[in-house]
Amino acid sequence: MKHASSLIFGISIIIAAFFLGNAYKDRANPPKIITVTGLGNENFTSDLIVWEGYFSTFNTNLKAAFEQLNMDKEIVKDYLLSKGIPEENIIFNSVQTAEQRDNKYDNGNYIGSVFRGYSLTQSVKIESNDVELIEEVAREITELLNKGVQFNSSPPRYYYTQLADLKIKMIAQATEDARLRAEKIAENSGGDLGNLLSAKMGVFQITGQNSDEEYSWGGVYNTSEKKKTASITMRLDYEVQ
């Protein structure tokens, strides 16, 4: 029995020594790894435009203010339809009502307020794939002043409906760019590129073409420019043989 225990103990020492020796060998000769970053860039033109504006009325009588606002709404709607914008692309939002009051002071001390009237505001939003048409209407919207409507316009916002497909294409570009870089580094160091160990996608950025916008860690998504540049990075780790 004692002999058997000694034999088992001896075998255990040999196995432990074998694994310890291999571990020391691996630590002394760590695997060679190349880390590279590839870039994918793509220019594109937006195919969706979103444009918003609002109009308002003011009256001491709330009912009269609503009636005037509804008349202005019909004028705005007819104008947009006359420009060729389909009715389903014209979205009127709910009316916002605010009571206007003037503050009164006596020797610099606030003593109350006096009712001045009601201000009613309604906004309209247009979404369309006919980018050029909406751009033209946005430039000419001041024509509503001649119709008695005080219309305030916001700058158009531009989007791209094929962004998901574009992103996949750019990931492939960035990955290929990184692989070529890794191959060149391995070749210059006298080795061969081995297996891909890991891949990590960087932040997706969209900026205006030829702009000086700075990238951010959270990503940039430009909506003010019709022509844009999208970019993405891929970080790859390769084994070198």
Q: Are residues 70 and 41 in the same domain?
A: no
Residue range 141-166, pLDDT digits in tens: 999 989 999 899 999 999 999 999 99
CA distances from 29 to 22, 24, 241 (A): 10, 8, 12
Residue range 162-193, pLDDT digits in tens: 999 999 999 999 999 999 999 998 888 888 88
Mean pLDDT of the chain, nearest integer: 87
Spatial CA neighbour of 143 closest among 202, 209, 75, 207? 75
Residue range 90-107, pLDDT digits in tens: 999 999 999 988 888 888
Q: Are residues 124 and 54 in the same domain?
A: yes
Domain termination residue (choose one: 103, 132, 157): 157
Domain termination residue (choose one: 157, 186, 212): 157
Domain that holds residue 132: 49-157
Q: Are residues 2 and 64 in the same domain?
A: no
Q: Are residues 38 and 4 in the same domain?
A: no
Residue 48 phi, psi dihedral angles, 5° rounding: -140, 130
Residue 48: CB atoms within 10 Å: 16
State in Å, rounded, how far the first CA of the chain is from the last one: 50
Q: Determine contact, residues 128/80, Cβ cutoff 8 Å.
A: no
Spatial CA neighbour of 54 closest among 136, 147, 116, 144? 144
pTM above 0.85, yes or no: no
> How many whole angstroms separate alpha carbon 190 and alpha carbon 170?
30
Tally of domains in the chain = 3
Q: Are residues 201 and 223 in the same domain?
A: yes
Q: Are residues 77 and 168 in the same domain?
A: no
Q: Are residues 25 and 40 in the same domain?
A: no
Q: Are residues 70 and 152 in the same domain?
A: yes
CATH number at residue 63: 3.30.70.2970
Q: Are residues 40 and 57 in the same domain?
A: no
> How many whole angstroms separate alpha carbon 76 and alpha carbon 55?
9
> How many whole angstroms separate alpha carbon 192 and alpha carbon 187?
6
Q: Are residues 93 and 153 in the same domain?
A: yes
Report DSSP state, residue 144.
G
Q: Determine contact, residues 217/21, Cβ cutoff 8 Å.
A: no
Q: Supply 103's token pair.
A: 């503050």
Domain termination residue (choose one: 157, 185, 209): 157
Give bridge partners of residue 59 from the DSSP assignment.
Answer: 118
Q: How far is CA 26 from the centre of its chain?
A: 45
DSSP characters over 37-65? EEEEEEEEE--EEEEEEEEEEEESSHHHH
CATH number at residue 194: 3.30.110.170
> How many whole angstroms separate alpha carbon 110 and alpha carbon 100?
17
pLDDT at site 213: 82
Q: Higher-confidence residue: 13 or 203?
A: 203
Helix H or strand E encompassing 103:
strand 96-106
